[in-house]
Every structure is written in structure tokens, then in C-alpha cells.
Amino acid sequence: MKKKLKYILVPLIMFFVLQILFLSTFWLNLDSKARDFLFILRGKQEISEDVVIVEIGDDTFNTLNERWPFDRKYHAHLIENLEKAGVKQIIFDVEFTERSNTADDEMLAETAGKYPNVIMSGKLIKTIYDSSTREQFLMPIRPFLDRNVQWGMVNITADKDGFVRKYEIFQKRKDEIRPSIGALSVANIYGIENEPNGFQDVGRFFIIGDNNIPKFGSKSTYINYYGPAGYFPIFDYADIIDDSSFVTSFEKAIDSDLNQYYELKDQLKNKIVLVGLTAVEFHDLHRTPFFTSDQQLTPGVEIHANFIEMALRQDYLREFSFFKYLLIFFLSAIVLFAFNYHLKPSISFIINIIAIIGYVLLAFFIFKNSKLFLPVLEIPVLIIITYITGLVFQYVKTTQERKFIKQAFGKYISPELVDELVKDPKKLEYGGKEMEITVLFSDIVSFTPYTESHSAKETVDIVREYLTEMVAIIQKNKGTLDKFVGDEIVALFGAPVYMDDHAYWACKTAFEMRVRMNELNEKWKAEKRDPFNIGIGLNSGKMIVGNLGSEQIFDYTAIGDNMNAGARIEAATRKYPSPNNILISGSTYELCKDRIITEFVDEATVKGKSQTIKLYELKGLKEEV
């Protein structure tokens, strides 16, 4: 249960740590840049051309040869010409908040007041005094207010990185709320500009007529930008006022009446016209998502145009449900951690890269086709973090396994086999599997009489020396020391690391044990110690090999009928004594008969076996001879 708990606990920790990271200013800026990239990938979108811009730009000043602010009779003339052209709305993104001369102010206000489709602009300004902030509405001058000319707010607020991504639907000062010129334009279209409930802030939406505008923040919505700067149809201010009653400075210079208005008026019919300043010196230029690709600043008037176009088409951007996304994120953390914990790093790396690319493409296609924002970078970051976490856990797990294997098997098998187990620890998983191996049993002949005629210390010393030498030979020849049973040695060949020639290595081990035993006997005789003899039995066949035992205590060993037969063959060395005292079964003989020297002994019945077993005496190794 504790092992399984990590599959929930680790993802839960990652979930909370990453969610805290995602609230940081650094991350919010990074996520905004990723959203900008979606606009760039999507590219320009088709527009209705119902919204047009009359710009007061550099060409305007060259044509009129006037300084700003223009004489207000110019603006009155502009309104008259636009109304004659049959425009749907005239929206000034130009503030008339200061008086000029009384006559011109009255004339402009009177002209604007004649037409219910004219919208003027104001602004919420904030002034900091000491540690307090004072707010006030900067309204159009009194003559406009006296004639009930509509006016809305033109505040444009950038994110912390200087990019304008949201449109403020209204501005609020104390309990007074003023809609933006864009929101007022939409209200005019629905005929609710003067209704007290014309603008509603309800839950996740701003409601204007039948238009439900998704909220992003307390008073903003995300702008669905249709293209870079200059994408909307643009007319020059000077061209619109250039009719037969007005002569521009440029016309005077060339001594010709161009009368541009008459060529353009048909293009203005039924259009929503925004009038705004686009010249650089007015500092009403902003960075939008498309700025990243073309480095072109967008005039404020065109930002209002993007909102109105979006509202006309009800083409809003929305965000994926926050709580649903959190659930998906957490479940993804669980799945990704389990996935990266178990798979090889090389394989999981490739799959994780594919997953990141796939998710980013998914986020883009959902944005493009459903106008729905999925967090672009959060899932890719989760994938990266779970991959790294998986690597760390795999490293710790592998280190622990290697340490365990070296500690558990270092004394029983050769260093080469230990290295093989370290490379593939799965060979040591709990439980057994059937393998064809060779088992070696070695036992001291007549050991009980030997212990009775020698002191305990003498017996222990000589047995320790004997076992040490025999185990060294087993390890040298790729064998695995299974166990000691008293003075008996049990060794396995071909497990846990399988070898095709396990029978040969077992025979080689037995022969070298015999040779070394003869040397030890000579040594002990020289030391005035009594020697003893050993019997060795070998058998090959299928056995159950693995970590076997109870859940509390288990050991790496082999069991099965062929294992028992190996013990019986070693016991048969008493019945069939020989110089080497090594007996091998017919199955062992068949596996390596080309590499060993043997002599057939008998076809005998051993205890526990109903069928007879062919027994051979191992006399030597062919390459040794």
C-alpha cells in the first residue's frame, strides 16, 4: 500500500507546486506570450468591413497643413459628410474635454446633437497624491452634455508586459459606471443605450442586449484580434472633409479641387465609423499579439474597431472551465508520473516529446476552431517535470537495486554475473520461473565420523578453509552459490543469468573442485592434519528458479524434481566410488559431451525417481587434457 501511495502523493505535490508557479507574474507573462503565438499561428481572419476607421495621421497633417488641435468646425464638417454618406454610427476616439472658442464648441456640439448615432469619448483618469489615488471622469465639454450627446470611455489598459489583450467594457468610479465607446456602440445597435438595464454584469458574462460577452477579469473581455495594425479599412480624415465646400492646403498647392469625399462616400454607407488619431506623436499606439511577428504598433482606435467587429459577429474568445481543467491536470499528473516511472527513459523521452507537440497542436486547433483558450504551456511543463521526476525516481530505484544485488549476491556469484544482474534486475523479481539449468551438489564423505574424532575448533577451521576454496571455484566459473546445508554445497549454473553452456561450466567447476581438493589434502597432510574426501553430483534439466519462500522470508534458489535428482546423484558417489568421485546425469552428459571426458557407470534408479537415470563418471575436460 505504501508503494502505491507514491503514485498519488508525488503527483499531488507536483500539482500544488506547479499551480503556485502558475500564479506568478513571470508565468502569467509567459502564458500570455504563448497565447499571442496562437494568434500568429492562426493568422489574419476575414472581417465584415462593416467597421471602418477615419484616421488623423501624418498624411492628414500634410494635406491640411494644420496643427493639432484642429479647428472644431473641421470635426463638425466631418460629421455632416459622414451623415450624408449614410453611415450607421460615428464614434470619436478623440477627446473634446477642453474648451476652444465658444462659437466652435457650440457648433460642433450642435452638429453632434442633431444625430443620435454620434458617440463622443471620455476617460477615467487616476491621479496619485501621496499614498492615495484619486479618480475622476474626464467628460466631454458642457455643450455636448447639454445636448445629450452620447459619450463612452476610451481607456485602454495594457498587461504588465505592455501588450493590450483585453478590452475594458466599462469604467467605474464609486457607484457610477460608464461603458466604453465599443460597448456603447453595441448598445446602440440593440437600441438600449439609454435603458438603465442596458448593461448587465452577470456571473461570467457582460450582457448587452442579446450579446453575452465572456468576462476576463472584473470589467474586461479578451479581444479576438483579426489581424495586425492597419488591417481594417482606413480612410484619411482630410479626404472625408474634402468636398466642394472645402479646399485643403494640398489642393491650394496644386491649384486643383480633388473633392475626395465624393469618390469615397459610397464606400461609407451603413458603416460604423471610428475617428481616431494614428500619428506617432499622439502616443496612442499599442502592442497587440500580432506585434510579436511584425513589430507594428496598433493605434487605439483600431483596438476599439477589433472589439466592435468581434461584438457584431459575437465572435468571442472563451476560456476552458477552470475546475474541469484542474481535474484534467491532476489526473494527467498521475498518469504521466506512473508512465515515466516505469518506462525506460529513452522511450519515455520520445513519447513525451510527441505528447508535448500533440498537446500544443491540440490547443491551437481548439483555439482556431472553437475560439477556446486552453493553457498552452502548463501541460507541457507538467510533462517535462514528470519526466524529470521519473528519471530521479528511476535513478534512486536503480541505485537501491544495484546496492541490494551487490550486497545479496556479491558473496555467492562471480562479479561478472553480478554486473549482469545489475543491468537487468527484473531477473530477481519475487516468484519463480521454469528454466533449464544445471545443479551441482558437493558433500564431504563420512563427515560425521570425522567430526567425532576431531575437536570442534579443528573441524570448523578445516571446513571453513574447504568451503572458501570451493566457493571461489564456483564463482570463478559463473556459478551461483545456492546454499550451504551443513557441509554440503549447492550451486546453480545458468541462473539467475542464463547461459547456453551451463552444463559445461558445471562440469568444469566440479573437475576444478576435485583438483583443488587433492591439493588441499596434500597441504593438510603436510600440516599433520587429517584429510577427507568429497563426492560431487551434477544434474541438468528444467527447474523452478527464483526468489522462493514465504512473504516474510524468501531466498534465491531452485526447486523441482531435477533438483532433488541432483542430490540423489551426489549420494550415489558412495555406491559407485571412483578416483574423481564425480557423477553426472545423462542429461548433463548430452549437453556437453563434446567437451568432457567421461565413462559410463550404470543406468541406476535413484530415490524419488521412478525411471532410471544414466550415470557417467566425469574424468576430465577435453581442453584440459
**Is omega for the bond preceding 449 within 30 degrees of 0, making it cis?**
no
> What was the pLDDT predicted at 411?
53
| First-to-last C-alpha distance (Å) of the chain | 59
Query: What's the CA gap between 84 and 86, in Å, rounded?
Result: 5
Residues in Cβ contact with 182 at an 8 Å cutoff, skipping those fewer than 6 apart: 152, 167, 169, 304, 307, 308, 311
Pairing type for strands 272-277 and 89-95 reads parallel
Q: Is the pTM of this model over 0.75?
A: no
pLDDT in tens, 163-187: 999 999 999 888 888 999 999 999 9
Residues whose CB is less than 8 angstroms from the CB of residue 202 and which lie 6 or more positions away in sequence, other chains included:
none
Helix (H, G, I), strand (E, B) or coil at 577: coil
Torsion sign across C-alpha atoms 260, 265, 267, 273: positive
Q: Judge whether residue 407 has pLDDT over 80.
A: no
616 forms bridges with which residues in the sheet? 584, 600
C-alpha cell at 542: 528444467
DSSP assignment string, 314-377: T---EE--HHHHHHHHHHHHHHHHHHHHHS-HHHHHHHHHHHHHHHHHHHHHHHHHH-EEPPSS
> What is the rounded CA–CA span in Å between residue 387 and residue 389?
5
Q: Is the CB of residue 453 less than 8 Å from the CB of residue 398?
A: no
Reported confidence tier of residue 495, pLDDT bands at 50, 70, 90: confident
Q: Which of 221, 181, 186 is nearest to 201 (CA)?
A: 221
Q: What is the DSSP string of 84-134?
A: HTT-SEEEEEEE--S---HHHHHHHHHHHHH-TTEEEEEEEEEEEETTEEE
Identify the three-state secondary structure at position 20: helix
Query: Could you give phi then psi for residue 527, rounded to 5 degrees?
Result: -90, 10
> Which residues, 6+ apart, have CB-to-CB distance to 227 below 8 Å?
44, 45, 47, 290
What pLDDT score was predicted for residue 423? 62
Each residue's pLDDT tens digit, 56-87 = 999 999 999 889 999 999 999 999 999 999 99
Alpha helix locations (H) across 478-560? 502-526
Angle at the Cα of 396 (from 395 to 398), degrees rounded to 5? Answer: 65
- Compute the average pLDDT of residues 474-486: 87
What is the C-alpha separation between 260 and 601, in angstroms, rounded? 123
Give the whole-angstrom CA distance, residue 417 versus residue 415.
Answer: 5
Task: Please state whether the peptide bond connecting residue 233 to the residue before it is cis, i.e. omega within 30 degrees of 0.
Answer: no
In 10 A of CB 285, how many CB atoms?
17
The residue that leads in pLDDT, 401 or 322, is 322
Residue 425 has pLDDT above 90, yes or no: no
Q: Using the predicted structure, report yes or no on whether residue 414 has a pLDDT greater than 70.
A: no
Please, which pLDDT band fits residue 431 given cuts at 50, 70 and 90?
low
Kindly report, residue by residue over 198-240, the tens digit of the pLDDT. Answer: 788 888 899 998 889 999 988 999 999 999 999 999 999 999 9
- 554: pLDDT strictly greater than 70: no
Tell me how far apart the alpha carbons of residues 614 and 335 are, in angstroms, rounded to a whole number.
57
Question: Which phi and psi angles does 294 have, rounded to 5°?
Answer: -115, -5
Given a cut of 50, is residue 452 above it in pLDDT?
yes
Q: What long-range pairs does 557-562 form, CB within 8 A, spacing at least 24?
A: 557/482, 557/483, 557/492, 558/437, 558/439, 558/482, 558/492, 558/495, 559/432, 561/608, 561/609, 562/439, 562/587
Tens digit of pLDDT for each residue in 567-612? Answer: 999 999 989 988 899 999 999 999 999 999 999 999 887 666 667 8
Lowest-pLDDT range of 94-108, 422-436, 456-470: 422-436
545 band by pLDDT with thresholds 50, 70 and 90 = confident
Phi, psi of 613 (to 5 degrees): -120, 130
Average pLDDT value over all residues in the chain = 88
> How distant is the alpha carbon of residue 233 from its chain centre?
42
Rounded Cα distance, 418 and 406, in Å: 6
pLDDT over 50 (residue 625):
no
At 285, the pLDDT band (50, 70, 90 cuts) reads: very high
Residue 53: closest CA among 248, 287, 229: 229
Structure letter (DSSP) for residue 442: E
Alpha helices in 559-602 (DSSP H): 561-571, 586-592
Give me the half-sphere count of Cα atoms (radius 13 Å) on the Cβ side of residue 189.
24
Residue 243 contacts by C-beta under 8 Å, 6 or more apart in sequence?
Answer: 81, 259, 261, 262
Average pLDDT over residues 32-51: 94
Interatomic CA distance for residues 81 and 604, integer angstroms: 123
Nearest residue to 507 via CA among 426, 569, 575: 569
Q: Give buried/exposed letters for 591-602 (b at 16+ CB in 10 A, else e).
A: bbbeebbbeebe
Which residues make beta-bridge pairs with 599? 617
DSSP state of 229: T
pLDDT at 174: 85
- Is residue 624 over pLDDT 60? no
Q: Does residue 197 have a pLDDT over 70?
A: no
Stronger pLDDT, 139 or 245, i.e. the higher one: 139
| Alpha-carbon span 543 to 412, nearest angstrom | 19
